Structure 1
């Protein structure tokens, strides 16, 4: 291995300066000139073998990602009651499901738009999973449709139930209108497809604020934020948090992980 060769090279350099290792001997102290030369030799080797730096960088990134995932998982465990047992949150799937997929999203988020068809694939392939839809219109201050689409979606949920809500949700994203392009007509048409022909009747601002506070408590900084976890027996080892859009295959892998026992 290149890294082992580098270590061997450094050891050889030490010996060439007149130092040998003894179990009971203290660590040698090099002169500034010797330390400088050792550094030069190591630097020359790294320049000749840059793949070592790539390997080290990849390992550091993996370690950072692992730490980040653990922090996310611990936050999820602290908030799992709020995530899984909020009667105001749109949800579909069997009551006895063993795995939950939870998405925090904004209808004007382009990355949420990319993720929407991926989630549709997962829902068709995994009807035994429970899916939670957390309306989080983070672009509401920029685009009015971000808020109005969220309000209408929650009204569809309250009036017509889970299947109508999923129809509305997918219909909004199917327009392909995001980043400020979603219109009031788009929202009305999506609601009609879900069986609702009137504008949102109730103000759901309190729920939207609750979702925002929960997302922040989880450490999410944008949309989409996706959590895959077991409904019971959640641990850092079987929770996955995606703070960005991912593919259907990645969600499927996380669902399998959530079914593992430790």
Structure 2
């Protein structure tokens, strides 16, 4: 069955319906049962003979859905700039007056976050003028309690010891290689002790965790890692990059360059 045969049938049907609509004083045109049956037969025969069209249609639909999701997340990022960039309870590293900010939502027990950690560490070292914000998002906390404990300890270290200590702790947790439920209380205590964290003076950080969880929902982030790369001021759709999943250091660098207005 040729595509032009399908078009011929539909064009012929369209001519018939056009005449019917005129005769009925522009009333709504409908297909007869016989016409609907014939169109269905032609379409079925053609798709059976050319199943690759179904794959093409499926891919195009998926791409369209992903583009719509990306646009929605970008719009949500722009709407929630203050929560992303100005929450003092959220750990950050880098100059306060940085022109570009990278925000990561992560879980210490997420294997993809663990794979991303060395790439992010590389990007941090290569971009001393960029600010990095760490949104503790322990989505595996109910499955693996160490996920939640590590997140809380990280936030408490940030409040008590500051940016350098936090980043050292953050990297030390990932350096254990213990993810997907293998992180232990001993791992957490060792990383915290290395930065001289005093657990007896730990702050209450539940409000910060709750705020991060709410923000993630507003942005449409259902998993980790999820990253946002944006200008610290003057963000709009064309200079914001949202990455809802694992990425590479090269892709992160490209997003930073885009946010900074540099030509790729």
Please report the TM-score for the alignment, with normalisation by the length of structure 2: 0.82
**Preserved contact between residue 19 and residue 28 of structure 1 (Cα < 8 Å):** no
Aligned-residue Cα RMSD (Å) equals: 2.9
**Preserved contact between residue 145 and residue 180 of structure 1 (Cα < 8 Å):** yes
Q: 1:20 to 1:214 in 2, by over 3 A?
A: closer
Q: What is the match of residue 199 of structure 1?
A: 199
Task: Give the paired residue count.
Answer: 253
Q: What is the match of residue 129 of structure 2?
A: 128
Runs of 4+ in 1 over 4 A off after TM superposition: 14-22, 25-31
What's the secondary structure of 2:63's corresponding residue?
helix
Q: 1:246 to 1:200 in 2, by over 3 A?
A: farther
- Please identify, of 59-68 and 214-223, the stretch whose mean Cα deviation from structure 2 is larger: 214-223
Q: What is the match of residue 73 of structure 2?
A: 72
What's the secondary structure of 1:86's corresponding residue?
coil
Q: 1:225 to 1:35 in 2, by over 3 A?
A: same
Q: What is the match of residue 118 of structure 2?
A: 117
After TM superposition, the structure 1 = structure 2 runs for residues 80-99 of structure 1, keeping only pairs within 5 Å, are 80-99=81-100
Q: 1:200 to 1:75 in 2, by over 3 A?
A: farther
**Preserved contact between residue 229 and residue 255 of structure 1 (Cα < 8 Å):** yes
Q: What is the match of residue 12 of structure 1?
A: 8
What's the secondary structure of 2:229's corresponding residue?
strand
Structure 2: give runs of 5+ residues left out of the alignment. Answer: 23-27
* Structure 1: distance between partners of 2:172 and 2:6: 62
**Preserved contact between residue 160 and residue 197 of structure 2 (Cα < 8 Å):** no
* Structure 1: distance between partners of 2:62 and 2:35: 32
Q: What is the match of residue 33 of structure 1?
A: 34
Q: 1:200 to 1:43 in 2, by over 3 A?
A: farther
Higher helix share: 2
What's the secondary structure of 1:88's corresponding residue?
coil
Instruction: Give how far 1:43 is off.
Output: 2.5
**Preserved contact between residue 156 and residue 196 of structure 1 (Cα < 8 Å):** no
**Preserved contact between residue 107 and residue 138 of structure 2 (Cα < 8 Å):** yes
Q: What is the match of residue 257 of structure 2?
A: 256
Structure 1: give runs of 5+ residues left out of the alignment. Answer: none
Q: What is the match of residue 184 of structure 1?
A: 185
